[in-house]
Structures are given as structure tokens and as C-alpha cells.
A and B are shown apart, each in its own frame.
Chain A
Amino acid sequence: MNSQREGAVKKVFCEMLEKCAFIFAETAAKDEIDDVAGEYVCVAMSFSGAWRGTMQLALPRPLCAVIAANMLGLEPDDEEAAQAQDDAVKELLNVTCGNVLTTLAGTEAVFSLSAPKTQVLPAAEWKALLQSPESVGFTVEEQPALLRLTIDDEAGAHHG
């Protein structure tokens, strides 16, 4: 990922997490977040229009509950927050993706975003995502998170 895209991904994800869930994130070196345990979740969506590509967010299952609770103004052990975990992280990715694209492409560009989808992420796929040059590492509430942006058409490569 080039430095402009990487900078936008880092800045926007931290801002969105703070504004949507009142949680502070920090960028992290990948060797600091390579030790995974427990269940991980990956949320993914695609976009088309001015540019075409994908965005993926991977994070531990317990962090999803914290994000959902904060977005809804509930305690993390609240049943409603537990049920909204997937929905909340989908929305976090949706907001992040929309704002990253506006940051990189400006307000004249038009994009269509797909509905985000979640899946359980096996440890091997976390490692693959971690090693991708298009992913950026974060620590959120002392837990690891990875955000990957791919832009795969020539216009995107040229502008972004």
C-alpha cells in the first residue's frame, strides 16, 4: 500500500472508532500483533465506481462485543450488545470504507459500496492478512486489529 493510502486508512479508522464507539485505537507494528489466540472475526466489503476494490477488518471476537456495546451505549455483557456484535462491526467497516474513499478520491467521485459480510477467521488466515502489504495493524483496547484496503483498477492506482 502506498503511503497516501496507508495514512488515510490509519487516520480514518482511528477517527471512526473514536467517533462511533468512543474507543481509541493506535497503529501497531505487525510483529506486535502476530500472536493470535481465541476466535477472530473478519468483516469484508467491496466497492465499485470511480475505483474498484475491497476493504477487510479482522479483530478478536471479544473486541466486537466491546465495539457493539459502546456504539449502543450498553455494557459489554449486555445481551443486546452481544446480539449486535456482527452488525456493529459491519457498520464500523462501512463507515470506515466510505470515509477512506472520500479522503482518497474526493467528493466528486461516486462509489457504490456492497453490504459488509462477516465470517470467522481461522488463525492461518489472520497470518496471511497480517503478512499482506496492503494491511495495517492496530491495537484497540489492548487487542489486535487489522485493516486491509485493496484498490485494483488502474484509475485507483493512478490517483490513490
Chain B
Amino acid sequence: MALNILIVDDSVTVRAVIKRTLEMAGVPVGTVHQAANGEEALAVLAKEWVDLVFTDLNMPVMDGVAFVERMSASDLLKTIPVIVVSTDGSAVRIEQLKAKGVRAFVHKPFTPELLRKVVSDTVGV
């Protein structure tokens, strides 16, 4: 099953790196949607079918925490698995995010092997 993925990060470089790393890791990728912040991401989710979301935390307009909270408040969106990709190394923040429904956390920088394992553990693909 190919996964339709949404990558949310204000850095176009990071979005490209995540997309390329998923492909290098052999993750079955279908359509890759991109958004520069949480608000843009919610607009994508309102009209596209997405199987898995990767999101940064530190973004303008709507940051990753607010985005995750908006997703978890929606009956439709809260079932979509969310993986946070961030430089944030705080164990406290990771636990807070998991309590809000985040399924996994990837600390930057990451390897294709790590990303593959996290995707496999999260969605079983």
C-alpha cells in the first residue's frame, strides 16, 4: 500500500530532505503533499486523503503543537498518525506531544534507516 504523506515544515529544504529520505528508505510513498505551517496543513487535510503526517514544531503562523491540537480535536483528523520531526531534544516536550496524540518523534538529523523504522512502527508498512 502506497502512503499518501503530508510533510509540514517551514523549510523547503527539510521538506525535500524528508521526501527524499523516505524514498531512499524504501517507504512505499504515494502522493506527497507539503505545507509550510499548521494552517496550510489543515487546508490540505480538508481536501486530500492523507495516511501519515510528518510535522515540525517551530513554524510561523501555526506551530506544530497548535497543529497537533487542532488535529486531535477533530474526529476525522485525529485518526491520522502524526510523526514529529524536530531538533527539540526535550523529553518533557516529547511526552507532552505524545499525550496530545503524536505517535512518534524523530530527532534531527535522521537516517533513512531510522525513518523507515519509525514509519513501520507507526503504520505497519
* B109: A residues at CB distance < 8 A: 16, 19-20, 95
B86 touching A98, Cβ below 8 Å: yes
Bound-state CA distance A97–B89 (Å) is 11
Q: Which residues of the other chain, B, contact A90 by a CB distance below 8 angstroms?
A: 11
Judged by DSSP, the binding face of A is helix
Q: How far is the CB of B97 from chain A (nearest CB, A)?
A: 12
B67 vs chain A, min Cβ distance (A)? 16
The residues of A that contact B108 with a CB separation of less than 8 Å are: 20, 95, 98-99
Is the CB of B117 closer than 8 A to any CB of chain A? no
Assuming A95-B108, A95-B109, A113-B58, is B89 touching A102 (CB within 8 A)?
yes
A99 touches B89 (CB 8 A): yes
Interface range for B: 20 to 34
Q: Is the CB of A98 within 8 A of B16?
A: no
Contacts of B60 in A (CB 8 A): 115
**Chain A residues in 8 Å Cβ range of B89:** 98-99, 101-102, 107
Q: Count contacts on A: residues with CB < 8 A to the other chain.
A: 28
Rounded to whole angstroms, the CA-CA distance of A95 and B60 in the bound complex is: 17
Are B11 and A91 touching (Cβ within 8 A)? Answer: yes
CA distance A114 to B59 in the complex (A): 9
Measured between beta carbons, the chain A residues less than 8 angstroms from B90 are 102, 107-111
Taken together as a complex, chains A and B put the C-alpha atoms of A68 and B86 apart, in Å, by: 19
* A71 part of interface (Cβ distance < 8 Å): yes
Interface string of B59-102 (1 = CB under 8 A from A): 01000000000000000000000000011111111000000000
Known: A20-B109, A107-B90, A110-B92. A91 touches B58 (CB 8 A): no
A26 at the interface (CB under 8 A from B): no
Query: What's the Cα separation between A84 and B109 when bound, in Å?
Result: 18
Count of inter-chain pairs, beta carbons less than 8 A: 62
Say whether A88 faces chain B, with CB atoms less than 8 Å apart: yes
From A84, which residue of chain B is reached at the shortest CB distance?
Answer: B13
User: What is the CA–CA distance of A91 and B85 in the complex, to the nearest angstrom?
Assistant: 13
CB of A7 within 8 A of chain B?
no
Task: Tell me if B17 and A71 are in contact (CB < 8 A).
Answer: yes
Knowing A98-B108, A99-B87, A107-B89, say if A91 contacts B14 (CB, 8 Å): yes
Contact across chains for B88 and A111 when beta carbons are under 8 A apart: yes
Binary per-residue interface labels of chain A (90-132) against chain B in the complex, 1 for a CB within 8 Å, 0 otherwise: 1100110111011000011111111100000000000000000
A133 lies within 8 A of chain B by Cβ: no
A45→B13 CA distance, assembly (Å): 18
Are the CB atoms of B12 and A108 closer together than 8 Å?
Answer: no
B5 to chain A, nearest CB (A): 18
Q: Nearest 5 pairs between A and B by C-beta?
A: A98-B87, A102-B89, A19-B109, A107-B91, A110-B90
